Structure 1
Amino acid sequence: MTDSRDDNASGKPLTGAGRSRRDVLRFGSIAALGAVLGGGALLGHATPALAQAGNEGELAPNDPLNILIVNYDGGTLLDFAGPSEIFHRLPNTNVRYASLHGGSVNLEFGVVYGNTERLADIEKTDMILVPGGSDLTAPMRPAYQAQIRRLAESAKYVTSVCNGSLVLAATGVLKGKRSACHWAFINKLSEYGAIPVPDRFVEDDNGRFMSGGGVTAGIDFALRVAAKLRGRQAAEFTQLVIEYDPAPPFHSGHPRDASPEIVAMVDKELPGASKGLARIPGVR
């Protein structure tokens, strides 16, 4: 996979050849979106609403927002791909990706992701996002933990998706803080001093700490973050652009809804899952 950082982070105008579908649908490209969807009416209604959107969020419309997504070997692509899709479309928002050594990382299922920056080269960020993974060995090592702790301590917003909250909790920054996690691992948060909350989205300290539950919760999490920081209308606009209109074919996404037989199958694969205490590589 190639470097997926913001193609126009420098602010230089794009040529016609360089304007991708992402650029056309990006939050700021209102005129282009109106043309694509054929909507004089859409454009007429959307522009004033979007102009007010930033006033609803914590950040002013022109306030920049720098988001850092931590990557590592064994990470789960969807944990950060969903939030990345949303964050890239918000105005005045720069999304970066970093790993301990920079370059490519080998995600779950053999997905190779790069080019990431080196964590040590990043002085600070407004928001840090730690996604989860099927193997947390790498981000639980001291060198990774030190960099994540350093950046989290100075960040305005400290966030995670899935069992990425275990990685954050292991650094100590979530001690005494409420946090979400994948249902199979959620009660392991207390072993690091965090307070497990079995919700799809959790915040603490007036939103300085925000977290999403399992893998797919990353999209819901990111929309909630977008609404908090950039305003509800900005979040709703982005939700419509990406057509996030979930209609799952089965109601089996959480133990509270799944049949006992399905829960038992997961428990066999991940012993202790139904108690929120499943073991995962890298976590003691």
Structure 2
Amino acid sequence: MKIAVVVYDKMTALDALGPYAVMAMLPGREISFVAAKAGPVVDDCGALAVTATRTFDDYRDPEIVIVPGGFVTRRMSIVGDPCIEWLREVHPRTQWTTSVCTGALLLGAAGLLKGLRATTHWVAYDELAAFGADPDHERVIVHPERRIITAAGVSAGIDMGLRLAQELAGDRVAQRIQLGMEYDPQPPFDAGSPLKAPPDLVEEMRTTLAESKRRLLADLTPKAAEN
């Protein structure tokens, strides 16, 4: 089973590595990190590098595609990125095309979410809707008829990975993976969703994330101009 995890500079690492950890425990899997060019890509914290071993040009037949998010996906989805055309090309032949967090914006830019109920990080619902999707708060949304799965923000990638494992290998295998990972969330606070967190905390986090997005995009603008 050929699994492609899309990677790019300034991605959110857990978006990719959460589902990767699940997929790595599937029998018969062949996982590749895929990018516009081979080599290391650095996450949005600037401290972790993941090495892309395949490129979009040389990998045209993945069976499973996983697209992580990050603040930079806003810019990628608007100005265009090589992964968007690659997604358009390979999706008709995949078993499943999936996203985590704002990776959904790249699926949207590729035209894969038009008319579909889909999810992403809660601060990006309006941007997702601009691509013709119907944003929803659900943590993982599965469309078997379109072979698409979208997951909410960051940590939801593990849930998505387990749901994908269920589709690929059945309940028992997915449960074994969950047990092997000891994935049994019991967070210290019930504040992991804007539907549950105190309203003032939601607004505080919205402001913080907006400022982080602004700084990141400002840092990227000069590089974009050079290219």
Q: Is this contact kept in 2: 1:186–1:198, CA < 8 A?
A: no
Which of 42, 45, 48 is the equivalent residue of 1:109? 45
Counterpart of 1:134 in structure 2 is 71
State the Cα RMSD in Å: 2.1
SS in 2 for 1:184: helix
SS in 1 for 2:130: helix
> Are 1:95 and 2:31 matched, yes or no?
yes
- Displacement of 1:152: 2.0
> Are 1:266 and 2:205 matched, yes or no?
yes
Post-superposition Cα deviations, 1:76-135, rounded to whole Å, max 9, x if no partner, equal 110011111110111112111110011111211012211431111002111111110122
TM-score calculated relative to the size of structure 1: 0.70
Counterpart of 1:256 in structure 2 is 195
Which of 5, 8, 12 is the equivalent residue of 1:76? 12
What code does the residue aligned with 2:72 have?
D
Structure 1 residues 78 and 196: alpha-carbon distance in aligned structure 2, compared to 1, 3 A threshold: same
What code does the residue aligned with 1:94 have?
E
- Displacement of 1:267: 2.4
Post-superposition Cα deviations, 1:153-187, rounded to whole Å, max 9, x if no partner, equal 32121110111001110111222222111111123
Mapping 1:1-284, distance limit 5 Å: 65-110=1-46, 111-136=48-73, 137-138=75-76, 141-206=80-145, 208-271=147-210, 281=217
TM-score calculated relative to the size of structure 2: 0.87
| Alpha-carbon distance in structure 2 between the residues aligned to 1:144 and 1:223 | 24
What code does the residue aligned with 2:168 have?
L
Q: Whose Rg is larger? A: 1
- Displacement of 1:143: 2.6
Q: Is this contact kept in 2: 1:178–1:203, CA < 8 A?
A: no
Runs of 4+ in 1 over 3 A off after TM superposition: 137-140, 278-282
Structure 1 residues 222 and 148: alpha-carbon distance in aligned structure 2, compared to 1, 3 A threshold: same
Q: Which ranges of structure 2 fall in alignment gaps of 5 or more residues?
A: 221-227
| Alpha-carbon distance in structure 2 between the residues aligned to 1:121 and 1:204 | 28
Q: Is this contact kept in 1: 2:15–2:100, CA < 8 A?
A: yes
Aligned length: 213
Q: Is this contact kept in 2: 1:139–1:167, CA < 8 A?
A: yes
SS in 2 for 1:67: strand
Q: Is this contact kept in 2: 1:153–1:173, CA < 8 A?
A: no
Structure 1 residues 108 and 167: alpha-carbon distance in aligned structure 2, compared to 1, 3 A threshold: same
Q: Which ranges of structure 1 fall in alignment gaps of 5 or more residues?
A: 1-64, 273-277
| Alpha-carbon distance in structure 2 between the residues aligned to 1:207 and 1:90 | 23
SS in 1 for 2:4: strand
| Alpha-carbon distance in structure 1 between the residues aligned to 2:81 and 2:68 | 18
Q: Is this contact kept in 2: 1:146–1:171, CA < 8 A?
A: yes
- Displacement of 1:270: 3.6
